[in-house]
């Protein structure tokens, strides 16, 4: 994980005083380009790492070699934890690195650094949407989470209803490049898509957060509720085993192999919100896939097939294409 490399880069720089990208690449068993990107990421995040060009140059940590990370300022420690924290949500190794970082910091910085690390997480499992940019409001909301300040939101719901709310920001989640804000409201915990937040205005009012709140546990609850809605209809299908990975790209965690059959086929369980949603995904497979149950999905497939057959019935030979002399 990149989080481990970032920590390793800092420790190597503290031990040696100055390193080159090539030396880091050799030490960490990565490419020189990757090592250089890690150094640039640390520098861009506000960590006191800077390059020295020319012969005998390299990258150095301001203040020279140190044996721990206690030379970082509070702001610099926050910046580092903002880099490492999200990866720790999905990597045991990154979690271990994060714990070591906390122990290396002065006590006065630990609270803010831990708050920065806990303010954001990454959920790598897709919900089907991709190629989205990080919303500009993420940084503002992240600061509000760390500083524990209420935020006044203007929010547009999925039904395009615009409302204004004063919320206690608890954490941010990056779900397949779609950002979500988990926050406390008058009606309890709520989840807001950041790309539907029209405006966000931090206030000076202190935000409240339950003492037992953890971002990972709260997000798992959200995921469970969403997945329950997305898996109301289950179907059993038969397909050649070699095509199962393709099915998984369409159905994600709602695709489970349920036993092997003869002739290289397997039984697979699939889920989606409605029978039509399943049928739409399977219609293009034709007879390469057989739906065993339920009858509702089979009926939707038959309807789609009849609709296509009626629309594309061959009424006669195609008109010949006129030849063009070039």
- Supply the pLDDT for residue 67: 40
C-alpha to C-alpha distance for 238 and 268, rounded to whole angstroms: 6
Residue ranges of the chain that CATH labels 3.30.70 = 231-311
Residue ranges of the chain that CATH labels 1.10.10.10 = 2-115
C-alpha to C-alpha distance for 271 and 231, rounded to whole angstroms: 5
C-alpha to C-alpha distance for 197 and 180, rounded to whole angstroms: 10
In terms of pLDDT, which residue wins out, 47 or 312?
312
Share of the chain above pLDDT 90, in %: 29
In terms of pLDDT, which residue wins out, 6 or 273?
273
CATH code that applies to domain 137-213: 2.30.30.100
Enumerate residues 6+ apart whose C-beta is below 8 A from 282: 237, 270, 289, 291, 297, 301
pLDDT higher than threshold 90 for residue 238: yes
pLDDT higher than threshold 80 for residue 48: no
Residue ranges of the chain that CATH labels 2.30.30.100 = 137-213
Find which of 25-34, 62-71, 288-297 is predicted with most confidence, using mean pLDDT. Answer: 288-297
SS3 of residue 160 by DSSP: coil
- Supply the pLDDT for residue 326: 39
CATH code that applies to domain 2-115: 1.10.10.10
pLDDT higher than threshold 60 for residue 1: no
SS3 of residue 164 by DSSP: strand
Instruction: Could you please state the CATH topology (level 3) that the domain comprising 231-311 is classified under.
Output: Alpha-Beta Plaits (3.30.70)
C-alpha to C-alpha distance for 275 and 203, rounded to whole angstroms: 46
In terms of pLDDT, which residue wins out, 29 or 151?
151
The token pair at 245 is 């990975």
SS3 of residue 246 by DSSP: helix
pLDDT band at 324 (very low <50, low <70, confident <90, very high): very low
């Amino acid at each position: 994980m990149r989080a481990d490399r970032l920590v390793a880069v800092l420790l190597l720089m503290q031990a040696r005083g100055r390193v080159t990208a090539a030396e880091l690449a050799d030490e960490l068993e990565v490419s020189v380009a990757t090592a250089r990107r890690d150094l640039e990421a640390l520098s861009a995040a506000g960590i006191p790492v800077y390059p020295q060009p020319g012969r005998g140059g390299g990258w150095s940590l301001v203040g020279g070699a140190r044996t721990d990370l206690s030379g970082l300022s509070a702001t610099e420690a926050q910046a580092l934890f903002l880099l490492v924290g999200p990866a720790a949500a999905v990597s045991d190794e990154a979690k271990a690195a994060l714990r070591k970082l906390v122990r290396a910091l002065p006590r006065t910085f630990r609270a803010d650094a831990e708050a920065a690390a806990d303010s954001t997480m990454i959920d790598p499992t897709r919900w089907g949407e991709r190629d989205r940019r990080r919303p500009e409001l993420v940084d503002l909301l992240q600061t509000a989470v760390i500083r524990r300040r209420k935020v006044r939101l203007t929010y547009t719901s999925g039904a395009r209803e615009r409302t204004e709310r004063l919320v206690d920001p608890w954490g941010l989640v990056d779900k397949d490049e779609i950002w979500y804000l988990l926050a406390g409201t008058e009606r309890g915990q709520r989840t807001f898509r950041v790309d539907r937040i029209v405006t966000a205005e931090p206030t000076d009012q202190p935000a409240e957060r339950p003492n037992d709140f953890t971002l990972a546990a709260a997000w798992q609850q959200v995921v469970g509720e969403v997945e329950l809605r997305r898996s109301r209809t289950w179907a059993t299908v038969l397909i050649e085993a070699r095509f199962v990975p393709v099915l998984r790209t369409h159905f994600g965690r709602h695709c489970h192999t349920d036993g092997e059959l003869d002739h290289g086929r397997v039984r697979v369980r699939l889920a989606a919100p409605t029978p039509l949603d399943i049928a739409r995904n399977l219609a293009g497979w034709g007879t390469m896939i057989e739906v065993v149950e339920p009858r509702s999905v089979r009926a939707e497939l038959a309807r789609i097939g009849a609709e296509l057959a009626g629309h594309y019935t061959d009424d006669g030979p195609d008109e010949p294409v006129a030849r063009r002399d070039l």
